[in-house]
A and B are shown apart, each in its own frame.
Chain A
Amino acid sequence: MEFALDPTTRERLRQIRELGRTHMRPLGLEADRLGRPTPADDPFFKLLVQLGHGRTRWSGEPADPPAAARAHGGGGARSVVTLAEEMAYWDRGVAVSFPGPGLGEPPLLGMGTPAQRRRFLEPFQNPDRPRWAAFAMTEPGAGSDVAGIRTSARREGDFYILNGAKSFAANASRADWIVVFATVDPSLGREGHRAFVVERGTPGLGDFQIEHKMGLKAYESTSFTLKDCRVPVANLLGGEEHYARRAGFKGAMQSFNATRPTIAAMAVGMGRAALDESLSFAREHGLLRESRARDRLERIRRRLRAARLLCWRAAWLADLRRPNMLEASMAKAVAPAVALEAATFGMDLLGEVGGRGDHLVEKLFRDVKAMDIVEGTGQIQRIVMARQLVNLPRDGVS
């Protein structure tokens, strides 16, 4: 595998580092202290748009979306995971609050028709103001087991009628539109799933409630309901044909995945922040004279370095369009636990200072726990790995 970073990524790293130091870290600490997400009208978001953030990867061409994304994005997955690590190093909560199509974009690129991509992503090509989009799969009763979603979609003429409740959707209350997954028949599992673009202001979309979290407070995790929400058939992602075509390919999953290594890389970034903070605390207080402290910090640096390389390897395979399901899950299974260890031990070094509740390491200790839960828990990752390694049967787990 290629270990060296390309010059473009290195340059973008420098930009993020500057932005992180001047804005992201302070904003993350502020949001944590105030216990609320950074408001959508914060000047920081306007600045980001001016700096060229908050844009879609969609190139405007209705061509093969991954090719378009590659051409537009430049560095590919390896670059994405590297930059994600650096963003999360400064503040992962603030990174998720960045304007842009966010997690709503991949379904648009992967399933959307050319007309849908134009309609929903064009406003993100050169945005006039900070704009967000969102993604809603998780429900109060269905997390890792996505086949278990209960939000229903029923066709009525030129509309689908959606009913249900969604949980923990990032940036949902400030989003121009939300990709909502619903089912036309719960007994079909994933076969029955349909994805809709639900636009802000659609009647029946409401009850937005920003959840109170243990950490990562800088972005909103929002629950909402759909009550007889009438969504035009034109907003069904991919159109009816997409689902008819897909029906023959039951269980055919994409053979490569770039999202899990990205989340894992964010965990590495947070762990690295905990390591750097712990190290400077230890240095100030003369704790490094003790081999007990050095040994544990050494272990954290070593495990984080291994986790980072696992992320890079999974991303490198994705860039080559080679199967990486095992490697992507490996990175995701390993990195969050290592990062939590980094913050947990950082608290040990801090001692009672860690108990005050106002130190960055203490914030990271809370923030990083989420990384072992989102995008498939550590347990789910091991199931995915075991399917690859030993053909673990599905036993109803999809």
Chain B
Amino acid sequence: MIQETARAFARDHLRPRDREFESARSVAAHVQQLYRDVGLAGLELPEALGGAGLGALARTLVNEELAAADPGAALALDPFGPALYPLLAFGGPDALRAHALPVLARPGGRAVLAFDLLPRLQTAGGRARGILPWVPADRVDLLVVLERERAYLVEEGLLPTALRGAALRAAGASELRVEGAAHPADWVSTPRARWALAHARLYVASLLVGVMRAAAEFSRAYAMERVAFGRPIAHHQALAFLIADMASAVEGARLLVQEAAWRLDRAGDLAGEPEIDDEAEVCATAFLEAAEAALFVTPNGVQILGGHGFMQDYPVEKWMREARALSLLLGGMDAAREDAGRALLLEREPLALEPAARATEGAV
């Protein structure tokens, strides 16, 4: 249902105006209003706070549909985005009430999530300081920083400088200088950080699935129309096979993302320390597959259109850039590869058909 709503909204209101949003670096206000009106806002916000209280699977379905039209707009329309997850994991409803609702109440307010592996931000004496080279936003009201073992918030001293941005410009693009108080100090928990990262990875992975689906679909249709050497180019076997492989790549990535979301929803209980080692691996794997598949599919979308593909009259070049930019988020593909690979050290049967005991007997 929610998927149908998102599909119709994206088709009717995002896809026809994607270039407009890209040059305006924002989504038109009435489209934002429409997004709220049809019930797509606050999908994962608890019901008590006015959200829909849905889980990861619903999020992946909606994100795929929105990104199949315009992934930049998908980011712009969800002003909290994946920054929600550390707040949910560490602070719960109280933290959301204190820090998320004010941002959401401000017109144009945006929260940004930074998964800070290196880290690029230094914290000392209760203050965070440093530079994030790129965030997909022109304005940052709240920065949520996630590390391996902790999370913290920065609400002032956030100084964005606008950048051209490689892609996702509908959401904006800035370098972000950070010089502000970091709080709270006690959001320390590796399992909770892992829970937040797993959700964030699925958030981005489902955007990647959407964008590659759009590229595969658009170029498939084009290849059936365009004629070369006396027949549609899709009927030359070299392209027919490529189109088949692109379809397989999209479907495989989509299934991995959806299954990971399904697992996460079954496992997710934040009452105690969430034990989601397996699910975290599955989410890292899904992110990586979505990224690899998108970086196979979207450049080939351009390839199928040939010279036209390179021109901005068609959307395929935009989707290629967006797939590349999305897969840089959250530490990128190598961080996901490292997490998924390290999980192998602990696994005896990495692909067991019988689910773990919790999944079979636990509260479903």
Give every chain B residue within 8 A of A392 (Cβ-Cβ): 234-235, 240
Contact present for B337 and A309 (CB under 8 Å) = no
Most buried by A among B234, B255, B289, B349: B255
Cα separation A97 to B262 with both chains bound (whole Å)? 37
Cα separation A36 to B235 with both chains bound (whole Å)? 44
Give me 8 A-to-B residue pairs in the complex whose CB atoms sit less than 8 angstroms apart, sorted by A's number.
A5-B355, A13-B354, A272-B351, A301-B350, A303-B289, A330-B244, A330-B251, A390-B234
Cα separation A5 to B352 with both chains bound (whole Å)? 12
Cβ-neighbour of A386 out of B240, B337, B349 (below 8 A): B240
Give every chain B residue within 8 A of A91 (Cβ-Cβ): none
Confirm or deny: B340 has a beta carbon within 8 angstroms of a beta carbon on chain A: yes
Interface of chain A, main secondary structure = helix
**Given A309-B255, A382-B240, A386-B240: A330 touches B234 (CB 8 Å cut-off):** no
Cβ-neighbour of B344 out of A86, A298, A327 (below 8 A): A298
Interface of A with B (CB < 8 Å)?
1, 3-5, 10, 13-14, 82, 85-86, 272, 275-276, 279, 288, 291, 294-295, 297-298, 301-310, 312-313, 326-327, 330, 333-334, 379, 381-383, 385-386, 389-393
Contact present for A310 and B248 (CB under 8 Å) = yes
Contact present for B251 and A327 (CB under 8 Å) = yes
Contact present for B256 and A306 (CB under 8 Å) = yes
Cα separation A201 to B285 with both chains bound (whole Å)? 55
Confirm or deny: B341 has a beta carbon within 8 angstroms of a beta carbon on chain A: yes
Contact present for A86 and B353 (CB under 8 Å) = yes
- Nearest-neighbour CB distance to chain B for A301, whole angstroms, equals 5
Contact present for A310 and B255 (CB under 8 Å) = yes
Q: Which residue of B lies closest to A282 (CB)?
A: B344
Closest 3 CB pairs of A and B: A294-B341, A306-B252, A390-B234
Contact present for A3 and B244 (CB under 8 Å) = no
Contact present for A390 and B255 (CB under 8 Å) = no
Confirm or deny: B159 has a beta carbon within 8 angstroms of a beta carbon on chain A: no
- Nearest-neighbour CB distance to chain A for B263, whole angstroms, equals 8
Contact present for A389 and B220 (CB under 8 Å) = yes
- How many of B's residues come within 8 Å of A, CB to CB? 41
Give every chain B residue within 8 A of A390 (Cβ-Cβ): 220, 223-224, 232, 234-235, 240, 243
Contact present for A385 and B247 (CB under 8 Å) = yes
Cα separation A386 to B243 with both chains bound (whole Å)? 7
- Nearest-neighbour CB distance to chain A for B361, whole angstroms, equals 11
Confirm or deny: B142 has a beta carbon within 8 angstroms of a beta carbon on chain A: no
Give every chain B residue within 8 A of A333 (Cβ-Cβ): 244-245, 248
Give every chain B residue within 8 A of A379 (Cβ-Cβ): 241
Most buried by B among A275, A391, A392: A392
- Contacting A at CB under 8 A, from B248-275, are 248, 251-253, 255-256, 258-259, 262-263
Contact present for B244 and A275 (CB under 8 Å) = no
Confirm or deny: B198 has a beta carbon within 8 angstroms of a beta carbon on chain A: no
Confirm or deny: B345 has a beta carbon within 8 angstroms of a beta carbon on chain A: yes
Interface of B with A (CB < 8 Å)?
220, 223-224, 232, 234-235, 237, 240-241, 243-245, 247-248, 251-253, 255-256, 258-259, 262-263, 285, 288-289, 337-338, 340-342, 344-345, 347, 349-351, 353-355, 360
Give every chain A residue within 8 A of B340 (Cβ-Cβ): 298, 301-302
Give every chain B residue within 8 A of A301 (Cβ-Cβ): 285, 340, 344, 350-351
Contact present for A386 and B244 (CB under 8 Å) = yes
Given A386-B237, A389-B247: 12 more A-B contacts, CB < 8 Å: A1-B255, A5-B353, A85-B353, A291-B341, A295-B337, A302-B256, A305-B285, A306-B256, A310-B248, A326-B247, A330-B251, A386-B243
Contact present for A10 and B360 (CB under 8 Å) = yes
Q: Which residue of B lies closest to A393 (CB)?
A: B235
**Given A272-B351, A392-B240: A313 touches B251 (CB 8 Å cut-off):** yes
Most buried by B among A13, A303, A306: A306
Cα separation A279 to B256 with both chains bound (whole Å)? 22
- Nearest-neighbour CB distance to chain B for A336, whole angstroms, equals 13
Q: Which residue of B lies closest to A308 (CB)?
A: B351
Cα separation A239 to B285 with both chains bound (whole Å)? 53
Cβ-neighbour of B345 out of A4, A288, A334 (below 8 A): A288
- Nearest-neighbour CB distance to chain A for B177, whole angstroms, equals 33
Give every chain A residue within 8 A of B341 (Cβ-Cβ): 291, 294-295, 297-298
Cα separation A383 to B262 with both chains bound (whole Å)? 33
Give every chain A residue within 8 A of B243 (Cβ-Cβ): 386, 389-390
Contact present for A313 and B255 (CB under 8 Å) = yes
Cα separation A174 to B341 with both chains bound (whole Å)? 47
- Nearest-neighbour CB distance to chain B for A360, whole angstroms, equals 15
Give every chain B residue within 8 A of A291 (Cβ-Cβ): 338, 341
Most buried by A among B255, B262, B351, B354: B351
Cα separation A305 to B224 with both chains bound (whole Å)? 32
Cα separation A86 to B351 with both chains bound (whole Å)? 11
Contact present for B248 and A302 (CB under 8 Å) = no
Cβ-neighbour of A275 out of B220, B256, B350, B360 (below 8 A): B350
Q: Which residue of B lies closest to A302 (CB)?
A: B285
Cα separation A194 to B221 with both chains bound (whole Å)? 39
Contact present for A302 and B234 (CB under 8 Å) = no
Give every chain B residue within 8 A of A288 (Cβ-Cβ): 344-345
Cα separation A291 to B341 with both chains bound (whole Å)? 8
Cα separation A349 to B258 with both chains bound (whole Å)? 32
Q: Which residue of B lies closest to A386 (CB)?
A: B240
Cβ-neighbour of A309 out of B223, B241, B252, B350 (below 8 A): B252
Give every chain B residue within 8 A of A308 (Cβ-Cβ): 351
Contact present for A302 and B344 (CB under 8 Å) = no
Cα separation A298 to B248 with both chains bound (whole Å)? 20
Q: Which residue of A lies closest to B250 (CB)?
A: A330
**Given A288-B345, A310-B248, A386-B244: A276 touches B255 (CB 8 Å cut-off):** no
Cα separation A291 to B344 with both chains bound (whole Å)? 11
Cα separation A275 to B235 with both chains bound (whole Å)? 37
Contact present for B285 and A382 (CB under 8 Å) = no
**Given A306-B253, A392-B235: A13 touches B353 (CB 8 Å cut-off):** yes
Cβ-neighbour of B256 out of A10, A13, A82, A305 (below 8 A): A305
Cβ-neighbour of A382 out of B232, B245, B252, B288 (below 8 A): B245
